[in-house]
Every structure is written in C-alpha cells, then in structure tokens.
Amino acid sequence: MKYCEKFKVKSGGKVRLDKIDAAFKDKHEDQTSALGELEKYTQRLRELQYLMYAEDKRSLLIILQAMDAGGKDGTINHVLGSMNPQGTRVCGFKVPSAEEASHDFLWRIHQAAPHRGQVAIFNRSHYEDVLVSRVHNYVPKKVWSKRFDLINNFEKNLVDSGTHILKFYLHISEDEQLRRFKQRIDDPARHWKISESDYTEREYWDDYSKAFEDALSKCSTEHAPWFVIPANHKWFRNLAVSQIVVETLESLKMEFPKPTVDISEVRRKYHMAEKEEAAKNGNKTKDKNRKKDKG
Ligand code: ATP
Ligand code: MG
C-alpha cells in the first residue's frame, strides 16, 4: 500500500482525527511480518541520504508533531538512526527562550532550516505557535489565526530554495497515551521523560485535537504536505514514515555529482603508484633476505 497517498492530508481538505484509526496496521498482524519491509526501507534511506549529501543540491526537512508521548523521539531514532550523522541534524523546539520570544515566531525556526545536502528533523516546530499558543491563549485569536498563512508562505520560501518538506502528525489515541505514561512510571530509565504538564495537558486533549485539525487542514499544501500517521503501533509508524520518506527521496531522481577530475587519468596514476609500491616492497624483501643470509 502506498502510504504517501493514503495518509496525506488533501490540500484544503478537512481533517477529523477521531475518524482516523490510530491503531491501523494495514495487512500486518504484528511487527514480525513488517520486519522485512522495514529493513528494506531503512537500507534505502541510508543510500538516499548519502546521495543527497553527495549531490549537495537540495535538502530535506522532516517535521514531527504529536500529542505528548506520541513517539517523536522514537521516530527520530528510527529514521535518523539509519543515516550517516554527517549530513543530518535534529532540532527540538521547547518553550521559547527570552531571546527567541522577543523575535517573530519563525525567527528561531528559520535558523534551524537545513542547508543544502542536509536532512533535518524538527522535534516540534513552528506549529506549536498555532497549537499550544492557541490552546492556552498565549496570544489572542487575531494573532494565531494569521499564522497559518505566514507558515504556508514561510514553507513555500524554503521549498523554492531547494528544501523538500514532509510533515508528520503521529496520531495516537487517548488510551494509548495513558498506557505510555504508565510505562514511563514503571521504568526508572524513562522517569526523566515525565513532566508536570503530562496530565494537565491531557485535560486539553479535545482542544489540542481541534487545533491540530485546523493546522493540518490549513497547512497541508502541495509544496509541504501533512501526513497523519497511525502511531499506536510504533513499528507501523516507523514503517509508514520510512516508506513516505524513501518514496519522496526516490522521486527526486538525485544523482551523484560528476567527478571533478579525469577518472581514467587518475586510474593511470594509481596503477603507476601501485607498480612503484610493488617494486619498493620487492626491494625491501630482497634486502631483508640478504641480511638474513649474512646473519
Ligand atoms: P516528550 O514528548 O519526550 O515529553 P517534548 O517534546 O514534550 O518531549 P518537553 O521538554 O517535555 O519536550 O516539552 C517541550 C514543551 O515546549 C512542550 O510543552 C511544548 O508545548 C513547548 N513549546 C514548544 N514550542 C513552544 C512555543 N512556541 N510556545 C510555547 N511552548 C512551546
Ligand atoms: Mg513532554
């Protein structure tokens, strides 16, 4: 199944998150039957990212948004884990610092945009400024409601400059979120992930859903599409995201840059150097044998 088509939010289309099955797993019973496919995409991701880095012509920006415990960290680990750290970058966006807050909301985001040849992943993003800012009235409606157009224009500018943008909303259900909170409590190695706001924010689930639905509808564009990824099953989420990233990168028809040197000339020099090296080594062996005979 082509997840790119299935999960893409149609430009101008309405999104109803409660109508989308967060536990969807396509034809797979469980993780085992998806392993082969997952491995194939992981391998291909590695090759394509290497090609993008070598080509040095364009970049890829992956934006991840989700409710708390939605699996942003796990997705980053999976997608970037298969890539060469050289040529990749992860940026997490937390509550803006005093300096960040004293600029327009896109200021800090623009600085983190990937340069040519680079794959960047945003763990949260400028969308927080139409999500948390809206839910908690950090700014009035007349401010946040103008941001959808500002975001679309900003993203268009990046795309026109050679950045490909893929935006993933990792869709989990409320009960799955609670299950993950419990895992965090039960596992001391995850205690650091628990934050005061986890349960208070949960009370705003419907408000966040509404804010997400608006952001997904208003900002899924041809140039920077949103995808709603069923994410209750972590392995299925990884499979869907990997497939979409791979297919997008494949469609770019990237090519290794032409060599800047004459390869046949370099090959000739190499063979000469190889012969010289062999001759040197041959002489060294003769010298050694002579010394042995004398000794
Ligand atoms: P995890 O999912 O592992 O808990 P996280 O991304 O939630 O990781 P936290 O440090 O727990 O990381 O939370 C970051 C917080 O920063 C979130 O509550 C988010 O809403 C907030 N934040 C991010 N951007 C903005 C913004 N522009 N304005 C206000 N708050 C923001
Ligand atoms: Mg958190």
Q: Which CATH number do you get for residue 240? A: 3.40.50.300
C-alpha 168/C-alpha 166 separation (Å) is: 7
Residue 229 shares a structural domain with residue 277: no
Q: What average pLDDT does this structure show over 240-261?
A: 96
Residue 244 shares a structural domain with residue 268: no
Residue 106 shares a structural domain with residue 233: yes
Q: What confidence tens digit (pLDDT) does each residue in 31-68 have? A: 999 999 999 999 999 999 999 999 999 999 999 999 99
Residue 195 shares a structural domain with residue 291: no
Q: What percent of the chain has pLDDT over 70?
A: 100
* 80 has a pLDDT exceeding 90: no
In the 8-state DSSP scheme, what is residue 103?
S
Q: Which domain holds residue 173?
A: 3-250
Determine, yes or no, domain membership for 256: no
Enter the pTM of the model. Answer: 0.93
pLDDT band of 82, cuts 50, 70, 90 = confident
Determine, yes or no, domain membership for 255: no
C-alpha 135/C-alpha 143 separation (Å) is: 13
Ligand 1 first shell, C-beta below 6 A: 68-69, 72-73, 93-96, 123-124, 128-129, 132-133, 193, 195, 197
User: Which of 94-98, 159-163, 190-194 has the lowest average pLDDT?
Assistant: 190-194
C-alpha 295/C-alpha 293 separation (Å) is: 5
Amino acid 245: pLDDT: 97
Residue 183 shares a structural domain with residue 265: no
Cα-to-centroid distance, 228 and ligand 1 (Å): 20
pLDDT band of 295, cuts 50, 70, 90 = low
Amino acid 288: pLDDT: 82
C-alpha 205/C-alpha 257 separation (Å) is: 48
Place of tokens 């965090």: 184
Residue 108 shares a structural domain with residue 141: yes
Residue 151 shares a structural domain with residue 33: yes
What is the number of structural domains in the chain?
2
Q: What confidence tens digit (pLDDT) does each residue in 134-178 have? A: 999 999 999 999 999 999 999 999 999 999 999 999 999 999 999
**In testing the pocket of ligand 1, which one of 77, 105, 109, 124 has its CB within 8 Å of the most ligand atoms?**
124
Average pLDDT value for the chain: 95
Residue 156 shares a structural domain with residue 275: no
Distances (CA, A) of 10 to 19, 156, 172, 222, 278: 15, 17, 20, 9, 64
Determine, yes or no, domain membership for 191: yes
Residue 187 shares a structural domain with residue 280: no
Ligand that lies nearest to the alpha carbon of residue 73, given by its number in the listed order: 1
